[in-house]
Amino acid sequence: MSSVTYATFPWLTTIILFPIAASLLIPFIPDKDGKTVRWYALIIGLIDFALIVYSFYTEYNFANPGLQLVESYAWVPQLDLRWSVGADGLSMPLIILTGFITTLAILASWPVTLKPKFFYFLMLAMYGGQVAVFAVQDMLLFFLAWELELIPVYLLLAIWGGKKRLYAATKFILYTAGGSLFILLAALAMAFYGDTVTFDMRAMLSKDFPLQMQLFLYAGFLIAYAIKLPIIPLHTWLPDAHGEATAPVHMLLAGILLKMGGYALIRMNVEMLPDAHATVAPALVILGVVNIIYAALTSFAQRNLKRKIAYSSISHMGFVAIGMASFTDLGLSGAVLQMVSHGLIGASLFFLVGATYDRTHTLMLDEMGGVGKQMPKIFSMFTACSLASLALPGMSGFVAELMVFVGFATSDAYSSTFKVIVIFLAAVGVILTPIYLLSMLREIFYGPENKELTSHEVLVDAEPREVFIIAALLVPIIGIGFYPKLLTQIYDAKTMQITERIRQSLPSLVHVQRVAPSPALSFQMLESPAIR
């Protein structure tokens, strides 16, 4: 049974506001070289992450698909606007991911020397804003959190980015802020529809929107969230942003910001507008396949290391679109797992790209080569993270993509011909991924040395701080790969509830089968309540 559980302590409010309030104290910290403020920011990040973990282990119930840790305070009673926050199986894994990645991103910011106080102020302010996006349960609050989160990213790109940083930052803000207008319009339409005016997401779930209106709302949300996920052709801001960002900002972009788009699509398009989703889902599957194939092929042509990894991220997000349109518990579970998995893997790869650039001072693959002997630790870590990205068995990416494949293949919502075509094309994308990633490793670390590079630079291997960051990311990547139930048990009850809701919008199906494990899949690696 789904039930709302109120928090015994304002955990989520504290987790959101604590880093924001702490950031306001940074200007008053006496610090000349930035060393004090970076330790201050790291301690605040660790405390907030500890609060997230503690509240999760003490008050979160895996079996309850409803909202938990709920807090609701009056804001503007005339419009039923409230400070309303809560977490369920869809948001809790991403809140944990946000705390984990952001804290590591602060640690990755150690080399920042330009305006360190302002930099860490933005990092902490963004911390709270990111958690708010996943936790708020009021549509207007969601819109405000979505908008406020854009400002720190814009400034982090515009001030600490590369040579084309202003172009990349402006393109980012135009795309994402323009998409936000569609969120506001759709939210207002949903709030004022019917006899009651409410921005509460739970109340909106009970409103009976006609199909035509659902399609209108679905289109508005899809444009906004397809930009952030991103879905082709609304993706072009991402390679430019990644091409100019610093390593910590890379980690936040790949690890958290892209997941906001996937989260919002599942939360609003799939759960709140099930009839429209049943109509649009085949198009979403096609967009997911286009993402996988087009971005993988485009990654081949990139000679800039950051842009190559950026297009790889776009390709992997295609599996999220296919999973959420599969109409099966397993497919939707795989989509959520893919978001968390890519958050960890993407953050690790972009951090290593930044570490490599700090030593070689180049991002062009043509100017690299043969540095593996001088940087064996970075070579080993880069190889491990690349293997995770190409979905090597035993790593989280493999489990996530396999769940999406099997979930979609066993869905009764599509014809056999359509499923065969989609699976074949998606499999082509899976085959392309190891080709461009392994060729990337070869060009960076193998082959003849670039004498012009090595004669002017001393290529220092990874320092303990960098090894720790990658080790911290690899532990959950491998842990989830071998035992995915560590993560899936958090959200299985919620994904099953969502799938059951959208099944009711498929009038042509009397029953959409639950996925039962075949003998080929009945190994412990896929032991999960989603596979029953």
Within its chain, how far is the Cα of 233 from the centroid?
Answer: 19
Residues 6+ apart with CB under 8 A from 492: 62, 89, 329, 333, 528, 529, 530
User: Among 398, 430, 387, 431, which Cα is nearest to 521's?
Assistant: 398
Residues 6+ apart with CB under 8 A from 519: none
**Residues facing residue 136 across a β-bridge:** 85
Q: Report the chain's terminal Cα–Cα distance, integer Å.
A: 18
Query: What average pLDDT does the structure give for the chain?
Result: 88
Question: CA-to-CA distance for 375 and 27, rounded, in angstroms?
Answer: 38
Question: CA-to-CA distance for 253 and 357, rounded, in angstroms?
Answer: 18
Structure tokens at 293: 């194939």
Question: CA-to-CA distance for 267 and 139, rounded, in angstroms?
Answer: 11
Give the tens place of pLDDT for each residue, 272-319.
999 999 999 999 999 999 999 999 999 988 989 999 999 999 999 999
Question: CA-to-CA distance for 167 and 160, rounded, in angstroms?
Answer: 13
Q: 455 phi and psi, to 5 degrees?
A: -75, -20
Q: What are the angstrom distances between the C-alpha of 209 and each of 189, 272, 307, 324? A: 10, 10, 42, 21
Of 2-11, 163-172, 501-510, the one with minimum mean pLDDT is 501-510
Among left, alpha and beta (phi > 0; psi -120 to 50; other), residue 34 is: left
Give the tens place of pLDDT for each residue, 75-129.
877 766 789 999 999 999 999 999 999 999 999 999 888 899 999 999 999 999 9
Of 43-57, 66-80, 468-482, the one with minimum mean pLDDT is 66-80
pLDDT band of 519, cuts 50, 70, 90: very low
User: Among 269, 364, 251, which Cα is nearest to 313's?
Assistant: 251
Give the tens place of pLDDT for each residue, 373-400.
888 999 999 999 999 999 999 999 999 9
Structure tokens at 516: 């039962």
Give the tens place of pLDDT for each residue, 179-216.
999 999 999 999 998 888 888 898 888 888 999 999 99
Q: What is the pLDDT of residue 454?
A: 55
Question: Which H, E and C letters describe 431-487, residue by residue?
Answer: HHHHHHHHHHHHHHHCCCCCHHHHCCCCCCCCCHHHHHHHHHHHHHHHHHHHCCHHH
Give the tens place of pLDDT for each residue, 209-237.
999 999 999 999 999 999 998 898 888 99
**Integer Rg of the chain from CA:** 22
Characterize 273-294 residue by residue with b for buried, 16 or more Cβ atoms within 10 angstroms of its Cβ, and e for exposed: bbbbbbebbeebbbbbbbbbbb
Question: CA-to-CA distance for 444 and 357, rounded, in angstroms?
Answer: 11
Task: Provide the percentage of residues in the chain whose pLDDT is more than 90.
Answer: 66
Other beta carbons within 10 Å of 206:
10
pLDDT band of 515, cuts 50, 70, 90: very low
Higher-scoring residue by pLDDT: 373, 57: 57
Question: CA-to-CA distance for 204 and 413, rounded, in angstroms?
Answer: 26
Residues 6+ apart with CB under 8 A from 233: none
Task: Provide the percentage of residues in the chain whose pLDDT is more than 70.
Answer: 93
Give the tens place of pLDDT for each residue, 483-509.
999 999 999 999 999 999 888 877 654
Average pLDDT of span 398-405: 94
Structure tokens at 514: 């639950």
Question: CA-to-CA distance for 280 and 145, rounded, in angstroms?
Answer: 27
3-state secondary structure (DSSP) of residue 332? helix
The answer on pLDDT for 453 being more than 70 is: no
Q: What is the pLDDT of residue 452?
A: 66
Give the tens place of pLDDT for each residue, 423-439.
999 999 889 999 999 99
